[in-house]
Structure 1
Amino acid sequence: MKFSRGLKALIVALLLNTALSAQYLYKDELIFNPAFNIEVEKLGSELHEKTGISLRLVMLKELPKNMNIVDYEKELIKDFNSPTILLTFSEMDSKVDIYANQRSLYEYFDKKQVLSPISSPVQAFIIALLNMDFSDMSSGGTILPLLAQKAKEGELLGKYAGSMFNGYADIAEQVAESKGVVLENAVGNANQTSIFLVKVLFYGFIIYGIFLYIKRKLYIRRQKNESK
């Protein structure tokens, strides 16, 4: 098939634009949303410009066969010489991880906090109380609490995009703060609003559960009194 010179130029331009726009949303096998791409690129580009650190988001459908997420990240990060942090999500494997090519980079953000499945200290205390285990009460998670929320089939990609960008922004803002710079494209209050909504849902379920428990206890007590 022959292509006109103009069509060839258009194809080259599109390919070049795709390559350039994939610098910080390094791999995307799930979302394919231009708006999502733009937001990641804006934040990642500003972070790199002001700190010299590249924060790259990797969105996979599935990890390569016989490879866990850390091994995958170790192989992928060999492509980068500059200070790089990878935030990786694999849908089919239900795995999320953060990996840096320099140990010193972990000093600029709290990996354990970002990846915590618990969003608040109060929630962490309640869970520890229920399990009678206070050895680990880490909280403040900005990915897993949102990722764990139920979503209809047509809303899955939105959930993935929202939760991963939430975590991406959290890491970027922590790195920026550690470096003493301010990001104009920081999520800030929007990020906190998402976590607040998770908290509201969680505590709502707890209160409702307590209400049902008390209601059941009162019903049993009333039945006993009536049978006397």
Structure 2
Amino acid sequence: MKNFFQGGFLAIFLSLFAPLSCFALDAVIYNENVLSQKVSDEINLIGKELYEKTGIFLALAVGNESSFESLAQKQKELPEPNILLILSKNSHKVDIIGSSETLSFFDKEAVLSPYAGTGTILPILASKKGDIYNAALLNGYGDIADRLAKYFNIKLESSIGNANRDTLNILRILLYGFICFALLYYTQRRMKKRYQNQVTKRRRRFG
């Protein structure tokens, strides 16, 4: 009788809390045929580790036809404390919302900055090259997770931030290097052409 009671109590306990645990581990709470399965899996992996180490549920809702307002309503279904990254293609809007205290744990404006040196979502969306939504949301979600990890002084094994930052830095170096090379080449060509014109004029003058 005692064993049955203990077993029954355990079953009831798990039935009550298992849905919350499973839900908390599923970071992508809504995906309207925008994210690939690979990117969803990677985001879920980061979200699971972050939740286990900080207790903060970092979620993502992305819609194709859904409005931003309808996606934002999904925050009410999340366990607290929470943060929700939202992108609506239909509304052409992206934002980060969260429970009262969580947004103070990181610089939201930096993540959403339109400048490539700071922002990790909008610069990719603005590029309009390649699979911008998967890249932007994975990059942005990873950036938020890394900022939260830094705030709580923990290490995320599933972090993609360092790899992304290194890739972006390499791309910036290559881009700036190409621009400098092009400017130098253009300047040299102009100087060479000017010198040749001066030589030609002198030859005509003394020829």
TM beyond 0.5: yes
Q: Structure 1 residues 197 and 221, CA, compared in 2 at 3 Å: closer, same or farther?
A: same
- Amino acid of the structure 2 residue aligned with 1:160: Y
Tell me how far 1:211 sits from its aligned partner: 5.3
Task: Assess if the C-alpha contact under 8 Å between 1:27 and 1:60 holds in 2.
Answer: yes
Residue 191 in structure 1 maps to residue 188 in structure 2: no
- Amino acid of the structure 2 residue aligned with 1:142: T
Q: Structure 1 residues 211 and 72, CA, compared in 2 at 3 Å: closer, same or farther?
A: farther
Tell me how far 1:100 sits from its aligned partner: 0.9
Aligned residues: 181
Task: Assess if the C-alpha contact under 8 Å between 2:34 and 2:63 holds in 1.
Answer: no
Q: Structure 1 residues 209 and 98, CA, compared in 2 at 3 Å: closer, same or farther?
A: farther
Tell me how far 1:177 sits from its aligned partner: 1.5
Tell me how far 1:90 sits from its aligned partner: 2.0
Matched with 1:119 is 116
Matched with 1:162 is 135
Tell me how far 1:84 sits from its aligned partner: 1.1
In structure 2, what is the Cα distance between the partners aligned to 1:76 and 1:185? 25
Q: Structure 1 residues 95 and 211, CA, compared in 2 at 3 Å: closer, same or farther?
A: farther
Mapping for residues 53-92 of structure 1, pairs under 5 Å: 53-64=56-67, 69=68, 71-72=69-70, 74-92=72-90
Tell me how far 1:172 sits from its aligned partner: 0.5
The percentage of aligned residue pairs carrying the same residue is 34
Tell me how far 1:205 sits from its aligned partner: 6.7
Residue 24 in structure 1 maps to residue 27 in structure 2: yes
2:121 is matched with which residue: 139, 143, 152?
A: 143
Tell me how far 1:36 sits from its aligned partner: 1.6
Tell me how far 1:54 sits from its aligned partner: 0.6
Matched with 1:94 is 92
Task: Assess if the C-alpha contact under 8 Å between 2:60 and 2:84 holds in 1.
Answer: yes
Structure 1: gaps spanning 5 or more residues: 1-15, 121-139
Task: Assess if the C-alpha contact under 8 Å between 1:28 and 1:59 holds in 2.
Answer: yes
Matched with 1:41 is 44
- Range moving further from structure 2, 78-87 or 48-57: 78-87
Q: Structure 1 residues 101 and 90, CA, compared in 2 at 3 Å: closer, same or farther?
A: same
Q: CA RMSD in A?
A: 3.2
Q: Structure 1 residues 75 and 52, CA, compared in 2 at 3 Å: closer, same or farther?
A: same
Task: Assess if the C-alpha contact under 8 Å between 2:111 and 2:120 holds in 1.
Answer: yes
State which structure, 1 or 2, has the greater radius of gyration over its C-alpha atoms: 2
In structure 1, what is the Cα distance between the partners aligned to 2:24 and 2:38? 11
Tell me how far 1:31 sits from its aligned partner: 3.5
Structure 2: gaps spanning 5 or more residues: 1-18, 202-207
Q: Structure 1 residues 116 and 79, CA, compared in 2 at 3 Å: closer, same or farther?
A: same
